[in-house]
């Protein structure tokens, strides 16, 4: 498609977009009486208008049913998570029994590491990307120490080549192979939060398994963003938050994936709790933990009904969209148009004021462009926010724009580029 940096082109694209009506299902933040152009879905998704309705429904159940809400009502709380599982599975390419909404991201990562990081004196190393989100770094450091190893020796970080921002798949595969004899686990982000690079998860999984290691992913920036095939790729486990591209609200419910290959492993370690006990006999209150079948057996604590209700409001919009296929098609078009508009800004300025460090290849990025801004980058970002364009800032000089296909438009992209050019000219950059 031949893009044009004009308002009429952007409006024509929006008019042809069959997902455009879904934009009306979300609430946009306001400033000075005007809505923001919101390009920060990669950090916190917008509130669905239906969130208040589903929340009020559960508050009414609490009011009218009280403790009987666990067993009565349209969707008894005891089984509420099962309704979400059917909507979650298509988003990550899993079977419903392989996913479960529970806890929060880093809590879930620790719980899964209990099962999938099983080091011994020979195989104890973990491979991860350098510059992973700090929570993952801290979780792995603490797990390694808990197992009696030194993180400096046990954790192998793969960094980009000199002068590059992103990792090459061949380098990842080579490091995995080189450490095969001592490798226990490969743990990557599906998409790197800083650069927006989508890693070749299938290739990484195959390489990790060939080395005799488990392979897991933190999908915080990938779930609800890019099409995933966790089951088909034979990924061992994954966890993610749901408040970014999946719009479940600040601190929303987390989620896990465990491949069905591991369901029959009776010797697998896990931290157990009553809610993960076999559902059919849970209320017998007997000693001796018997896990519920599937990913549900990794639950520990009582289901979080209110956060799950908010998550369901967004999942129902994903269902209306047709899940990830149509969303990915629009996402690629939006991101390509944003890349084009940024290039047009550089051309109009007569120099490369903005450098996009997110890979251009469709298979290597999601709905995010990370942009290195020269000069006083923070001043540019602050001016964007002051003029109702809200992206995301990352030190030292990166502006992240995350155009979410559920609610962003081509008009959003055009107007953001127009403002960016205007601000740069005003500041004589």
3-state secondary structure of 21: helix
Extract long-range pairs of 268-273: CB within 8 Å, 24+ residues apart: 268/115, 269/114, 269/115, 269/118, 270/111, 270/114, 270/115, 270/297, 270/298, 271/111, 271/114, 271/300, 272/300, 273/299, 273/300, 273/301
Percent of the chain with pLDDT over 70: 100
CATH of the structural domain 54-320, one choice from 1.10.10.10, 3.40.640.10, 3.40.50.620, 3.40.50.720: 3.40.640.10
> pLDDT tens digits for 280-296?
999 999 999 999 999 99
Site of tokens 């000693």: 287
Burial status of residue 100 (CB atoms within 10 A of its CB: 0-12, 13-18, 19 or more): buried
Token reading at 284:
């017998």
pTM, two decimals, is 0.97
HSE-CB for 256 with a 13 A CA cutoff: 25
Q: What confidence score (pLDDT) does residue 427 get?
A: 77
Q: Indicate the Cα dihedral angle 142, 147, 151, 156, nearest 10°.
A: -110
Average pLDDT over residues 121-148: 97
How would residue 1 be classed by pLDDT, with cut points 50, 70 and 90? confident
> pLDDT tens digits for 163-220?
999 999 999 999 999 999 999 999 999 999 999 999 999 999 999 999 999 999 999 9
CATH class of domain segment(s) 7-35+323-426 = alpha beta
Cis status of the peptide bond prior to 107, with omega within 30 of 0: no
Q: What is the DSSP letter of 18?
A: T
Site of tokens 């908010």: 310
Q: What confidence score (pLDDT) does residue 429 get?
A: 60
> pLDDT tens digits for 326-363?
999 999 999 999 999 999 999 999 999 999 999 999 99
Q: What confidence score (pLDDT) does residue 267 get?
A: 84
> How crowded is residue 397: how many other Cβ atoms within 10 Å of its Cβ?
17
3-state secondary structure of 135: helix
Q: What confidence score (pLDDT) does residue 231 get?
A: 98
Mean pLDDT rounded to a whole number for the chain: 97
266 pLDDT more than 90: no
Q: In the chain, what are the domain boundaries?
A: 7-35+323-426, 54-320
Site of tokens 């002068």: 163
Cis status of the peptide bond prior to 147, with omega within 30 of 0: no
Q: What confidence score (pLDDT) does residue 428 get?
A: 62
Q: What confidence score (pLDDT) does residue 35 get?
A: 97
DSSP per-residue letters across 176-221:
HHHTGGGEEEEEEESB-TTT-BB--HHHHHHHHHHTT-EEEEE-TT
Percent of the chain with pLDDT over 90: 97
3-state secondary structure of 306: helix
> pLDDT tens digits for 309-334?
999 999 999 999 999 999 999 999 99
Token reading at 412:
């959003």
């Amino acid at each position: 498609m031949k893009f044009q940096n004009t308002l009429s082109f952007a409006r024509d694209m929006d008019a042809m977009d069959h997902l455009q009506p879904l934009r009306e299902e979300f609430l946009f933040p306001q400033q000075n009486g005007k809505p923001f152009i919101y390009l920060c879905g990669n950090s916190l998704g917008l509130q669905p208008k239906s969130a208040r309705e589903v929340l009020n429904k559960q508050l009414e159940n609490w009011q009218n049913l009280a403790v009987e809400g666990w067993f009565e009502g349209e969707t008894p709380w005891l089984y509420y998570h099962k309704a979400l599982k059917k909507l979650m599975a298509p988003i990550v390419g899993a079977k419903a029994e392989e996913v479960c909404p529970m806890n929060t991201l880093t809590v879930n990562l620790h719980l899964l590491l209990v099962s999938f990081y099983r080091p011994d004196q020979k195989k104890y190393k973990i491979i991860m990307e350098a510059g992973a989100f700090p929570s993952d770094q801290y979780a792995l450091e603490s797990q390694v120490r808990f197992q009696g190893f030194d993180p400096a020796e046990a954790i192998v970080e793969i960094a980009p080549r000199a002068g590059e921002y992103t990792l090459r798949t061949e380098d990842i595969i080579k490091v995995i192979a080189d450490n095969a004899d001592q490798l226990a686990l490969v743990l990557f982000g599906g998409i790197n939060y800083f650069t927006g690079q989508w890693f070749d998860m299938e290739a990484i999984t195959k390489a990790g398994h060939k080395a005799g290691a488990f392979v897991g992913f933190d999908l915080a920036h990938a779930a609800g963003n890019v099409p995933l095939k966790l089951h088909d790729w034979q990924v061992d486990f994954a966890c993610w938050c749901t408040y970014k591209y999946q719009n479940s609200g600040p601190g929303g419910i987390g989620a896990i994936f465990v491949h069905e290959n591991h369901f029959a492993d009776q010797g697998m370690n896990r931290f157990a709790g009553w809610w993960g006990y076999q559902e059919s006999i849970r209320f017998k209150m007997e000693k001796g933990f018997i896990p519920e079948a599937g990913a549900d057996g990794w639950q520990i604590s009582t289901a979080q009904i209110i956060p799950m209700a908010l998550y369901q409001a967004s999942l129902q919009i994903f269902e209306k969209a047709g899940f990830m296929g149509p969303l990915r098609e629009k996402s690629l078009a939006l991101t390509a148009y944003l890349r084009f508009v940024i290039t047009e800004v550089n051309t109009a300025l007569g120099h490369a004021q903005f450098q996009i460090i997110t890979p251009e290849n469709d298979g290597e990025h999601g709905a995010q462009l990370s942009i290195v801004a020269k000069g006083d980058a923070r001043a540019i970002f602050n001016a964007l926010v002051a003029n109702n364009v809200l992206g995301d800032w990352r030190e030292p000089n990166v502006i992240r724009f995350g155009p979410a296909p559920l609610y962003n438009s081509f008009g959003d992209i055009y107007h953001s580029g127009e403002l960016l050019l205007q601000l740069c000219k005003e500041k004589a950059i």
